[in-house]
Amino acid sequence: MTLTTDVYVLDEIAYKDVFLKCNQLIGATEATRFSNKQLTAWRQGAAVADHGKAWNIGNEIGQGLCALLDVYYRPGEPFRAVDNGCEWYCDSTCDNDEHENPACWLEVSFDTAYGYKDEQGRYCGDLHACLVAELGAWLDERGVRWLWYADTLATVYSGYDRLADLCSAGSEASAWYRSAVLPAIAGGVS
């Protein structure tokens, strides 16, 4: 079980620059393995409202990073030209009102296990709040507008004000994981 936080980059910027900055934020190195590939037709149709050629550049799992990183984009044009209420993994006919996926140039996704706790004592929500704040500041320096969304809060936000809510929601998810899930695993409950 993981906390997923998305940053919607609204204005044009090179996806490689954003990917490199995000990798820096999560502690990736030149040795970090990643892939850069066009999404399959199934995901492509769901990810982009006009069924264009969507791509994903992302780190491979199992490398010990604090978050799994994925950046969704389309070469030379917006990733999502119009708002789309469906999640990227839904089929194109879904009637999903979980949250509105805004029109954006890029979509950045950070994904971290609920059980995460680092040397600084940060849980997954604290980590994601820091990642959003640092990426947001970097984008602000470049005059690039952005929004963010965390699956535990189920609302799209702008700016920094609600990042404390992400910390709280992440702490609640981490506490639930430690108090309910880990004991169930240890007890062999299926």
Q: 14-70, pLDDT tens digit by residue?
A: 999 999 999 999 999 999 999 999 887 544 344 444 445 889 999 999 999 999 999
Q: How confident is the model at residue 181 (pLDDT cuts 50, 70, 90)?
A: very low
Three-state SS letters, the chain: CEEEEEEEECCCCCHHHHHHHHHHHHCCCCCCCEEEEECCHHHHHHHCCCCCCCEEEEECCCCCCCCEEEEEEECCECCECCCECCCCCCCCCCCCCCCCECCECEEEEEEEECCCECCCCCEHHHHHHHHHHHHHHHHHHCCCCEEEEECCCCCEECCCCCHHHHHHHHHHHHHHHHHHHHHHHHCCCC
Please tell me the pTM assigned to this model.
Answer: 0.80
Residue 139 has pLDDT above 60, yes or no: yes
CA distance 173 to 116: 10
Between 121 and 40, the more confident residue is 121
- The total number of residues shown for the chain amounts to 190
68-117 residue pLDDT tens = 999 999 999 999 888 765 544 444 444 444 456 889 999 999 999 888 88
pLDDT of residue 90: 45
Distances (CA, A) of 57 to 19, 93, 112: 8, 26, 17
CA distance 88 to 72: 10
Residue with tokens 């169930």: 184
Q: What is the pLDDT averaged over residues 2-23?
A: 96
